[in-house]
A and B are shown apart, each in its own frame.
Chain A
Amino acid sequence: MLHHLIELILRYGVPLVFVNVFLEQIGAPIPAVPTLIVAGALARNGEMSSTYVLTAALFASLIADWIWFLLGRRYGYRILRTLCRISLSPDSCVRETESYFERWGMKSLLFAKFIPGFSTVAPPLAGAMKASTLEFLIYDAVGAFIWAGTAVAAGRAFHHAIARLLQRLEDLGWWSVVFIVSVVILVVLLKWWQRLRFYRKLRIARVSVDDLKAMFDRGESPIVLDVRTRGSRQRDLRRIPSAIVASSPEEVAEQLAQVPPSSPIILYCT
């Protein structure tokens, strides 16, 4: 069975790499790195072309990222928020992505694909921040090349081990397919379960804007921390009345130096 699968990869290898990379970059939970590694190993054995594999990965990645970039440019932070909703926490997701961008600028696209989650969120953020299209495409292409190149190079370097693994799976026949499919299903289920649990916990812990307003109206004075990034604050100069501004952990520590640990603290981002 696996023999047929490898034949399929060999026959449709490059289009398969293209579709896999495109789906992953557009946000589907289908990892492309294993495919790129196997393609690299097959290329080392002369059964595929590394150049074609890399070109397919590069274009698939660029097209998917460009779609997100354009959506980010058109819908701004709303699209980012929707995308982050798929992640663990919309607030921290937007904030963390922004932090990377503020620190590294467009250069963050060079390593974005190595950071889970950031890979899909970075292009729409670049669009929302009205980055130059040409600059985006250049950095994104270099980033995609480094990412796909690393996976293909790993496949080429460990081609003997990968060939042995494929052979062992082939010996297992149908069981190898059952094994691989079961592992993939288990990983996806585990991720969803972790996400649901975390999200439920987060929802319980959150305070709604109505609750916060009610606290103010009752004369309670919780410590409200504006933990938006500097860039985010520059784009929107408003804040919740009396909110303390603190962007970095050091600033938070400094601002709260005199605040007793029993005080209720409410944090907000964009």
Chain B
Amino acid sequence: MLIDRGYVEVRPLAGGLDAWVDAGYPVEELTG
């Protein structure tokens, strides 16, 4: 969908949020 809208550099994050958390990188709490 993004590529159709003209965005040329769209990349998925391998492993998603779980991989980010497992790597010990910082996260923030969602509010609202």
Q: Is the CB of A266 within 8 A of B13?
A: yes
Give the residues in chain A near B17, CB-CB below 8 Å: 226, 228, 236, 238-240, 268-270
Near B by CB (< 8 A), chain A positions 235-252 give 236-242, 245, 249, 252
Partner of A265, one of B7, B14, B19, B26: B7
Give the residues in chain B near A249, CB-CB below 8 Å: 1
Give the residues in chain B near A262, CB-CB below 8 Å: 8-9
Give the residues in chain A near B25, CB-CB below 8 Å: 209, 213, 240
Bound CA–CA A240/B16 (angstroms): 10
Most buried by B among A209, A213, A239, A263: A209
How far apart are B22's CB and chain A's nearest CB, in angstroms? 8
Give the residues in chain B near A213, CB-CB below 8 Å: 23, 25
Partner of B20, one of A206, A212, A253, A264: A212
Give the residues in chain A near B15, CB-CB below 8 Å: 208-209
Q: Chain A interface secondary structure, helix, strand, loop or mixed?
A: mixed
Interface readout for B1-32 with A: 1 if CB under 8 Å, 0 if not? Answer: 11001111111111111111101011111100
Query: Given A239-B28, A266-B12, are A256 and B19 also a contact pair (CB < 8 Å)?
Result: no
Give the residues in chain B near A256, CB-CB below 8 Å: 2, 5, 7
Near B by CB (< 8 A), chain A positions 207-260 give 207-210, 212-213, 224, 226, 228, 233, 236-242, 245, 249, 252-253, 256, 259
Which bucket holds chain A's interface residue count? 35 or more
Residue A178 is within 8 A (CB to CB) of chain B in the complex: no
Residue of A nearest to B13 (CB): A268
Residue A29 is within 8 A (CB to CB) of chain B in the complex: no
Query: Given A213-B23, A239-B28, A265-B2, are A206 and B7 also a contact pair (CB < 8 Å)?
Result: no
Q: Is the CB of B19 within 8 A of A209?
A: yes
Give the residues in chain A near B27, CB-CB below 8 Å: 238-241
How far apart are A90's CB and chain B's nearest CB, in angstroms? 8
Q: Is the CB of A241 within 8 A of B28?
A: yes
4 more contacts with CB within 8 A, not counting A210-B23, A256-B7, A265-B7, are: A209-B25, A224-B13, A259-B7, A263-B7
